[in-house]
């Protein structure tokens, strides 16, 4: 456990204004650690000069640049970086210097001292617009519900993972994923520490509302079948309401006579409600099966054995 190697994975998409400043701050921090380290910069199909600027840093022995064929999105880019890491502790961070690199030594210290699998971060005073913070709040609530892990800030990508957690995430081969949530599936000891947050150094955010909504969907759809359940329960509720309405009409008919309820038109409505409800229910049932197929094709491992103790037990 003595010499922990550190890897830092940074997704880069159109960050030409930030790369110089980022490396100018990150490299000294990494060198001060007195541990072997590598920095993996993943160019996520940038359309500006980012890739050229990144490549200039490869003259440094600890810097590697991964070029993707097109823009795959932040989480896929990080996964691509994960696929080539060599370190024992793997950190992720943004390229726009919103996450101060100076927090890295503290995160590594917390991880080693507490023997954590994942160290997340909470942005102490977030320097983003209200419109950017609100969707994040929603994502946090959803992520807490879905994963059952009570982390406070899921969106901050300054995070540290132990290598085995990274390997397990890679083994998932998921199309659309949300790395902080996926990591909790494979991590036992998880913690969060507070970090500073800064304004974006240069350029502008790559997360317009449209992408944030997509992220929310990725999170809900990849990690839960809540929407399917919603359809199903909605259908059951609608059917029950239809039945109640029908019963009410029948009683009213007995009490007030034939002329009540517009000569039976309302009765048709009641019947309609029951059937519409049943249709939704049927959709939900089909959805349940699709959900099962989805989980099957996703091939997320049902369990991962950490270690086997006892005679002839452990793997190499």
Size, binding site for ligand UDP by CB under 6 A: 17
User: Which lies closer to ligand UDP via its Cβ, residue 81 or residue 287?
Assistant: 81
15 binds, among Mg ion, ligand UDP, none (CB under 5 to 8 A by kind): ligand UDP
CB of 139 to Mg ion, least distance (A): 14
Contacts 24+ apart (CB under 8 A), 256-259: none
CB of 83 to ligand UDP, least distance (A): 15
- What span, in angstroms and rounded, lies between the C-alpha atoms of 206 and 102? 23
Q: What is the DSSP string of 172-190?
A: T--SS--HHHHHHHH-SSE
Min separation Cβ 40 and ligand UDP, Å: 12
Site of interaction with Mg ion (CB under 5 A) = 94, 96, 98
CA atoms within 13 A on the CB side of 219: 26
Of positions 185, 207, 261, 294, contacts ligand UDP by CB under 6 A: 207
Return the residue of 17, 23, 54, 77 that touches ligand UDP, per CB under 6 A: 77
Q: Using the rule CB under 6 A, which residue among 95, 142, 182, 219 binds ligand UDP?
A: 95
Q: Specify whether the CB–CB gap between 101 and 24 falls below 8 A.
A: no
The nearer residue to Mg ion, 16 or 117, going by C-beta atoms, is 16
Q: How far is the CB of 77 from ligand UDP (least distance, A)?
A: 4
Among 22, 15, 8, smallest CA distance to 44 is for 15
Closer by beta carbon to ligand UDP, 162 or else 197: 197
**Which of 7, 8, 9, 15 is the binder for ligand UDP (CB under 6 A)?**
15
> For the chain, what is the radius of gyration of the CA atoms?
26
Q: Least distance in Å: CB of 219 to ligand UDP?
A: 14
Choose between 76 and 119: whose C-beta lies nearer to ligand UDP.
76
Q: Which helix (H) or strand (E) holds 196?
A: none
How far, in Å, CA of 172 to CA of 162, rounded? 16
98 touching ligand UDP, by CB under 6 A = yes
φ, ψ of residue 120 in degrees (nearest 5): -95, 180
Does 174 contact ligand UDP by CB under 6 A?
A: no
Which of 96/225 has CB closer to Mg ion?
A: 96
- Residue 71 touching ligand UDP (CB under 6 A): yes
Reference 178, options 108, 284, 92, 287; nearest CA is: 92
Contacts of 316 (CB under 8 A, 6+ apart): none
67/88 with CB nearer ligand UDP: 67
E-state strands within the chain: 6-12, 37-43, 63-67, 89-92, 118-123, 159-162, 190-195
Between the CA of residue 158 and those of 118, 283, 290, what are the distances in Å? 11, 40, 35
Question: Of the candidates 206, 216, 224, 267, which one interacts with ligand UDP according to CB under 6 A?
Answer: 206
| Alpha-carbon span 227 to 284, nearest angstrom | 9
Q: How far is the CB of 91 from ligand UDP (least distance, A)?
A: 13
| Residue 94 near ligand UDP by CB under 6 A | yes
Total Cβ atoms within 10 A of residue 123: 21
The token duo for 153 is 């800030």
Q: Which of residues 227-256 bind ligand UDP (CB under 6 A)?
A: none
The yes or no reply on residue 38 touching ligand UDP (CB under 6 A) is no
Give the binding site for ligand UDP (CB under 6 A): 11-13, 15, 44, 71, 73-74, 77, 94-96, 98, 132, 205-207
């Amino acid at each position: 456990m003595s010499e922990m190697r550190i890897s830092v994975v940074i997704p880069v998409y159109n960050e030409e204004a930030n790369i110089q400043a980022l490396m100018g701050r990150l490299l000294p921090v990494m060198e001060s650690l007195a541990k072997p380290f590598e920095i993996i910069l993943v160019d996520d199909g940038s359309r500006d000069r980012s890739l050229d600027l990144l490549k200039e840093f490869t003259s440094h022995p600890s810097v590697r640049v991964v070029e993707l064929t097109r823009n795959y999105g932040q989480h896929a880019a990080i996964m691509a970086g994960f696929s080539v890491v060599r370190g024992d502790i793997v950190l992720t961070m943004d390229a726009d210097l919103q996450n101060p690199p100076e927090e890295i030594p503290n995160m590594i210290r917390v991880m080693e001292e507490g023997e954590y699998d994942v160290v997340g971060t909470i942005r102490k005073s977030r320097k983003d617009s209200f419109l950017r913070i609100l969707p994040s709040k929603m994502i946090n609530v959803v992520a807490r519900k879905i994963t059952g892990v009570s982390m406070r800030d899921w969106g901050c990508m300054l995070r540290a993972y132990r290598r085995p957690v990274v390997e397990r995430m890679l083994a998932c081969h998921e199309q659309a994923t949300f790395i902080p949530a996926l990591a909790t599936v494979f991590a036992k000891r998880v913690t969060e520490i507070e970090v500073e947050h800064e304004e974006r150094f240069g350029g502008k955010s790559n997360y317009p509302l449209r992408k944030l909504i997509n992220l929310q969907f990725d999170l809900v759809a990849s990690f839960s079948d809540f929407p399917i359940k919603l359809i199903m329960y909605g259908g059951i509720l609608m059917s029950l309401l239809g039945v109640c309405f029908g019963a009410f009409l029948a009683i009213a008919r007995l009490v007030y006579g034939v002329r009540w309820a517009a000569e039976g038109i309302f009765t048709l409505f009641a019947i309609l409600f029951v059937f519409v409800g049943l249709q939704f229910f049927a959709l939900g049932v089909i959805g349940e099966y699709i959900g099962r197929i989805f989980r099957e094709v996703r091939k997320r491992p049902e369990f991962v054995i950490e270690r086997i103790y006892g005679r002839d037990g452990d793997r190499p």
